[in-house]
Amino acid sequence: MSAVRELAVERVEHLDPHDLADLCDATNAAIVDGGGFGWLEAQSRAALERHFGGILLVPEREFFIARLDGEVVGSAQMIRPPRHNEAQAFSAQLAHAFIAPYARGFGLARMLVRRVEDRAAALGMRVMNLDVRATQESAIALFEAAGYTRWGVHPAYARANGQTIPGYYYYKLLEVPGGRSTAEALGDIG
């Protein structure tokens, strides 16, 4: 009989050294597996600590971590438009979502995406945008199962291993709790 695994997702404003170390290990495992979110090669611990430390300081970014049996095994970011961008204040971006290979298949990414969407909706956001390399098949399946609509393909989105890789662009409409419906708020978007 297999043991019940403990799944958790939380929004964090800082990371203690133990969680940061686990996050760095998870990140390098994902990079080495080929599903890095931008990085193509494993990074030093110091570089990753600087990277995540910097992200936690950016006002427009919110940071979410996933835990498996208490250990940090993945993360995602929600990026809000900068304050001067009033015309797009109703939309957010889901970026850099990943789960370490050793923690995949438990439903943590689905929880992570849902948590980021719920947070965005609670802040009054009506639209979640994201983009992904066309080669990230698991992520594409995840986002499409979660109700994201693919609206565009960028033919020269990324370069990896000497190859140019297309990118897929997605959006999903969110419902704001206690607010007008998104159909009413946005009007006819075709």
Ligand X SMILES: CC(C)(COP(=O)(O)OP(=O)(O)OC[C@H]1O[C@@H](n2cnc3c(N)ncnc32)[C@H](O)[C@@H]1OP(=O)(O)O)[C@@H](O)C(=O)NCCC(=O)NCCS
Would you give the binding string for ligand X spanning residues 125-154, x where CB under 6 A is met?
A: -------x---x-xx-xx--x---------
Helix, strand, or coil (residue 19):
helix
Q: Candidates 27, 28, 35, 91: give the one binding ligand X (CB under 6 A).
A: 35
Which of the stretches 42-50, 79-87, 96-104, 167-175 binds ligand X when contact is defined by CB under 6 A?
96-104
Q: Is 99 in the site for ligand X (CB under 6 A)?
A: yes
Q: How far apart are CA 130 and CA 115, in angstroms?
A: 15
Which of the stretches 2-10, 51-59, 107-115, 172-180 binds ligand X when contact is defined by CB under 6 A?
107-115
CA distances from 141 to 111, 135, 147, 156 (A): 15, 11, 10, 21
Contact 55, 79 (CB under 8 A): no
Q: Is 68 in the site for ligand X (CB under 6 A)?
A: no
Would you give the binding string for ligand X spanning residues 2-31, x where CB under 6 A is met?
A: ----------------------------x-
- Please count the other Cβ atoms lying within 10 Å of the Cβ belonging to residue 22: 20
Q: Is 79 in the site for ligand X (CB under 6 A)?
A: no
CB of 98 to ligand X, least distance (A): 4
List binders of ligand X among 167-186 (CB under 6 A): none
Tokens of 114: 């849902």
CB of 170 to ligand X, least distance (A): 11
Q: How far apart are CA 89 and CA 187, in angstroms?
A: 16
Chain residue whose CB lies nearest ligand X: 35
For 87-112, b where at least 16 C-beta lie within 10 A, e where not — what string? eebbbbbbbbbbbbeebbebebbebb
